[in-house]
Amino acid sequence: MVLEFEKPIADLEQKLQEMKDLAKGRNIDLSSDIESLEEKILALKKETFQNLTRWQRVQLSRHADRPYALDYIYEITNDFIELHGDRSVKDDKAMVGGLGDIDGRTVMFIGQQKGRNTKQRQERNFGMANPEGYRKALRLMKMAEKFGKPIVTLIDTPGAFPGLEAEERGQGEAIARNLKEMFMLKVPVICIIIGEGASGGALGIAIGDRVYMLENTWYSVISPESCSSILWRSWDYKEQAAEALKLTAKDMKGNGLIDDIIPEPLGGAHKDLKWMSKTIKETITSALKELDKIKPEKRIDQRIDKFCSMGVVVE
Beta bridge partners of 189: 151
> 56-307: which CATH topology?
2-enoyl-CoA Hydratase; Chain A, domain 1 (3.90.226)
308's enclosing H/E stretch is helix 296-308
Q: How many CA atoms lie within 13 A of 235 on its CB side?
A: 3
Distant-in-sequence, close-in-space partners of 97: CB < 8 Å, separation ≥ 6: 82, 83, 108, 109, 110, 111, 136, 137, 140
Q: How confident is the model at residue 23 (pLDDT cuts 50, 70, 90)?
A: confident
pLDDT value of position 161: 95
Contact status, residue 241 vs residue 227, Cβ threshold 8 Å: yes
Other C-beta atoms lying within 10 Å of the C-beta of residue 259: 18
pLDDT value of position 191: 98
Other C-beta atoms lying within 10 Å of the C-beta of residue 229: 17
Question: What's the pTM?
Answer: 0.94
Backbone φ and ψ of 197, nearest 5°: -130, 85
Backbone φ and ψ of 214, nearest 5°: -65, 155
Q: Which range, of 22-31, 123-132, 284-293, averages the lowest pLDDT? A: 22-31
User: What tens digit of pLDDT does each residue of 83-109 get?
Assistant: 999 999 999 999 999 999 999 999 999
Cα–Cα distances (Å) from 188 to 1, 229, 250, 276, 286, in that order, read 38, 39, 25, 22, 12
Query: Letter for the amino acid at 88?
Result: S
| Average pLDDT of span 150-167 | 96
Contact status, residue 151 vs residue 190, Cβ threshold 8 Å: yes
pLDDT value of position 75: 97
Contact status, residue 198 vs residue 242, Cβ threshold 8 Å: no
